[in-house]
Structure 1
Amino acid sequence: MLLIGAWSLPIFWKLDVSPPRDLPLRFNRARQRLYAYNFNHRWWNPFERWQVTPVAYDWSQVRAERWLQRGATTHGIIIKGGVVLSIVKPGTNEVIDRFPLTTMGADGHAWAYICTYMQKGPDALPPPGPAKDHNDVLWCNIAVLLAPKVKWPAEMDLESRTAP
């Protein structure tokens, strides 16, 4: 039991403080690109270096996949769902990367909003809500406060916000 406790303590610590505060996605209509803050990890190996790898893909490679998970507990039936953005290898349907778009909440509506923006521009949409600061967290959420802040590489930050 002591060995299991000694192994699980670093895993739970790392699961709390290693993932970045958020995993933002950026869509640049002028460049027809998706920019993602991609966090790579293997939860079962606390000794491996977990890292963020910002990536960019062409819009033509992006697909949406809806997922639904059902389960039963002693309290009843649980149904969860969402939308994942899948990146396919050009000219194929082979998925090379995935990013969560939504969990519960908006699912298909978020994908429709993004598609309309990328195809027709912001004038075809209702105005968005206020911009979110991905590093703004509640003072009482200690684990997230200890997590690394969202920081895009300077070149990618500029590219994802400007036209070619």
Structure 2
Amino acid sequence: MGIWLTLFFWKFDVSPPRDLPLRFNRARQRLYAYNFKYRWWNPFEKWRVVPVAYDWSQVRAERWRRTHFTAQGGVIIQFGVELSIVKPGTNQVIDRFPLTAMGADEHAWAYVCTYMQQGPDALPPPGPPRDHNDVLWCNVAMLLAPKVEWPADMDLESRTAP
């Protein structure tokens, strides 16, 4: 059991990619996601990245909130936003991606919606772009994790107009 747990925690630390970026292409009206698939119960299975693309018309946002009570009598409240992908013409969810990264919440969703519907001129200027592979030298697990590498054709498509 100890060996299995050691392998599980090692793989859980170094197998996921350094980041799970989302790309929004206004010209193509598409969302591109670096989707990481894993099964927590099987540390021996190969976990993989499956980059996917969906039409903007399929994207919905779901706001969630969780309340945890600690043993010491405290309360921890967590909240966030997930992007849900629905089957065209229905509300059946076929995929989900977290939008809640680095404290992003419904304001990030509003920013994305404004960008996709009205363009960058309707928004305040964004901060400097961030390299998803840039990690601190002291974060050993992230340094050992695979770098974010989009497939070449999807990388080009997500950055260009049709």
Q: Which runs of 5+ in 1 are unaligned?
A: none
Q: Which runs of 5+ in 2 are unaligned?
A: none
| Aligned equivalent of 1:67 | 64
Q: Is the 8 A contact 1:14 1:46 kept in 2?
A: yes
Match of 1:121 among 119, 122, 137: 119
TM-score between both structures, scaled by the size of structure 1: 0.96
1:7 deviation in Å?
1.2
Pairing 1:25-44 to 2, within 5 Å after superposition: 25-44=22-41
Sequence identity, in percent? 79
Pairing 1:1-164 to 2, within 5 Å after superposition: 4-75=1-72, 76-102=74-100, 105-164=103-162
Distance in 2 (alpha carbons) for counterparts of 1:7 and 1:17: 16
Q: Is the 8 A contact 1:82 1:104 kept in 2?
A: no
Seen in structure 2, the aligned counterparts of structure 1 residues 132 and 154 have a Cα distance that, compared at 3 Å, is same
Partner of 2:100, secondary structure, is strand
Q: Summarize deviations over 1:48-92 as a string: whole Å, max 9, x none.
A: 110000000000000000010001003410000100000001111
Q: 121-130 vs 69-78, which deviates more?
A: 69-78
Distance in 1 (alpha carbons) for counterparts of 2:101 and 2:120: 24
Q: Summarize deviations over 1:109-149 as a string: whole Å, max 9, x none.
A: 00000000000000000000000000000000000000000
TM-score between both structures, scaled by the size of structure 2: 0.97
Q: CA RMSD in A?
A: 0.9
Distance in 2 (alpha carbons) for counterparts of 1:160 and 1:104: 23
Q: Is the 8 A contact 1:16 1:147 kept in 2?
A: yes
- Give 4+ residue runs of structure 1 displaced > 6 Å after superposition: none
Partner of 1:102, secondary structure, is coil
Distance in 2 (alpha carbons) for counterparts of 1:103 and 1:72: 23
